[in-house]
Amino acid sequence: MLCCACSPAYVMRAGWEETKILFGREPIDELLQDEDVSSEDKEKFKLVLNARNYSESLGLKPEGSFTQYSDVERDVLLWVLSASSPVEFSPITWWFPIVGRIPYKGFFDKDDAIEEAKELEQKGFDFYLRPSPAFSTLGWFDDPLLSTVLAFDDVSLVNTVIHEVLHNTIWIKDNAPFNESLANFVGTIGARDFFQSELHTNQDYAEQADAQWKDEVLFAAFLEKTKATLDDLYRRGKPEAEPERLSRQEILDQRRILFEQIQSEWKELQSSFISKSYHSAKISINNASITAYQIYLTKPELFSRHYTACGESLERFIRSLKKFAKMESARGKDSYSEFEKTVDSCLAGEKSDAKS
């Protein structure tokens, strides 16, 4: 794993962009009274406030986030770059204040992102560049609702609010895959439960959120299988593979063939998806993109198991995760191994209670 620090110029640019967002905030309560704001936007503002309040009822800490709105005056907030060695799953990580080391880097200027991506490509790395509509300051500032997020459909809007508020509440330093996969689970299941709640019942939306989660579990399994297939190839390039060790070029030639097979498997799998977003999705296949996708979908079944152990109560699930995040053992390189022990312990206790 190659580690990089961000340049002072990069940090200053990011700080400037965040400052513009914060200074451009307008209270949503005031916008709801503004005659120049469309009725459609007002309905979405109300939905955001309701989702924010709902997240608080689950034990999350929105603080002042999502009580204000900021128009960023563009369709994409930032561009996120991921990179990895092409002959093993070894992502480049970047160090940032507060969050620690993470396997991606955001750019407010697309040209800057492309320039760094090309530099990494010239050095022989795989790269993956994607647009992102939002980010979280992890509770250090009151994050506003951004115009890039306001454009979402209702289910995605509620999902995003709960996802980002989860980051405000729980963030384990240097463990981006755990943090993002947890937020992905809580955001998606939270959106489903929100639209099943008495005050906000919309069965169609609840079913959409439920379908989204089922599809993400299916996609996660596809990614895990894909990674395992490629890992088998990459092991053949290691010193311990002698005397039949493959050269770097042989590895690259063979993985090109595997990439074509993986794309074919993806097209076949798409008919199994329920949600529209996965039915039509095109995916990029290289080590950087697979790593980037997995950041949000690492071991989703583990979160599902713990949710079951918590009686399918998201409030209990979040309470348990808040306790887990405070444990010293959770702050190691692999939060998942420690979390799995917690899940197994909960399930064992559940079985014991059932017998007594």
- pLDDT per 10-residue tile (average), the chain, 356 residues: 49 59 86 97 98 97 94 90 96 81 89 95 97 78 90 96 95 89 98 93 95 96 97 95 92 97 95 86 93 95 94 95 81 76 64 44
Kindly give the interhelix angle for 176-194 and 335-355, rounded to the nearest 10 degrees: 50
Closest CA to 158 of 58, 283, 27: 58
In the chain, the largest separation of any two C-alpha atoms, in whole Å, equals 76
Of 138, 171, 204, the position where a domain reaches its end is 171
Whether residues 157 and 15 share a domain: the answer is yes
- What 218-221 contacts at long range (C-beta under 8 Å, 24+ apart), as own/partner pairs, is 218/269, 218/272, 218/273, 218/278, 219/273, 219/278, 219/293, 219/297, 220/294, 220/297, 220/298, 220/299, 220/300, 220/301
Per-residue tokens: 292: 């980037």
What is residue 5's predicted lDDT score, i.e. its pLDDT? 46
Domain count for the chain, please give it.
2
What is residue 347's predicted lDDT score, i.e. its pLDDT? 56
Residue 55 lies inside a defined structural domain of this protein: yes
Transcribe 119-179 into DSSP letters: HHHHTT-EEEEEEES----TTSS-PPEEHHHHTS-HHHHHHHHHHHHHHHH---TT-HHHH
What is residue 312's predicted lDDT score, i.e. its pLDDT? 95
Contact 180, 172 (CB under 8 A): no
Residue 187 lies inside a defined structural domain of this protein: no
Residue 253 lies inside a defined structural domain of this protein: no
Residue 311 lies inside a defined structural domain of this protein: yes
What is residue 130's predicted lDDT score, i.e. its pLDDT? 95
Of 116, 141, 171, the position where a domain reaches its end is 171
Residue 185 lies inside a defined structural domain of this protein: no
Is the peptide bond prior to 243 cis by the omega test (within 30 degrees of 0)? yes
Contact 226, 263 (CB under 8 A): no
Alpha carbon distances (Å) from 329 to 7, 285, 322, 323, 333: 31, 34, 14, 12, 9
What is residue 318's predicted lDDT score, i.e. its pLDDT? 96
Contact 127, 81 (CB under 8 A): yes
How many other CB atoms sit within 10 Å of the CB of residue 197?
14
What is residue 354's predicted lDDT score, i.e. its pLDDT? 40
Of 137, 171, 205, the position where a domain reaches its end is 171
Residue numbers of the domain that contains 124: 3-171
Residue 233 lies inside a defined structural domain of this protein: no
Q: Which helix (H) or strand (E) holds 266?
A: helix 248-269
Alpha carbon distance 130, 200 (integer Å) = 33
What is residue 15's predicted lDDT score, i.e. its pLDDT? 59
What is residue 317's predicted lDDT score, i.e. its pLDDT? 96
The identity of residue 139, as a single letter, is: G
Kindly give the pairing relationship between strand 3-5 and strand 93-96: parallel
Residue 45 lies inside a defined structural domain of this protein: yes
Alpha carbon distances (Å) from 204 to 97, 107, 154, 160, 201: 41, 36, 11, 18, 9
Say which residue the tokens 């997240």 belong to: 55
Whether residues 163 and 304 share a domain: the answer is no
Contact 124, 86 (CB under 8 A): yes
Per-residue tokens: 195: 């639209």
Alpha carbon distance 127, 165 (integer Å) = 29
Residue 259 lies inside a defined structural domain of this protein: no
Number of helices (H), then strands (E), in the chain = 14, 9
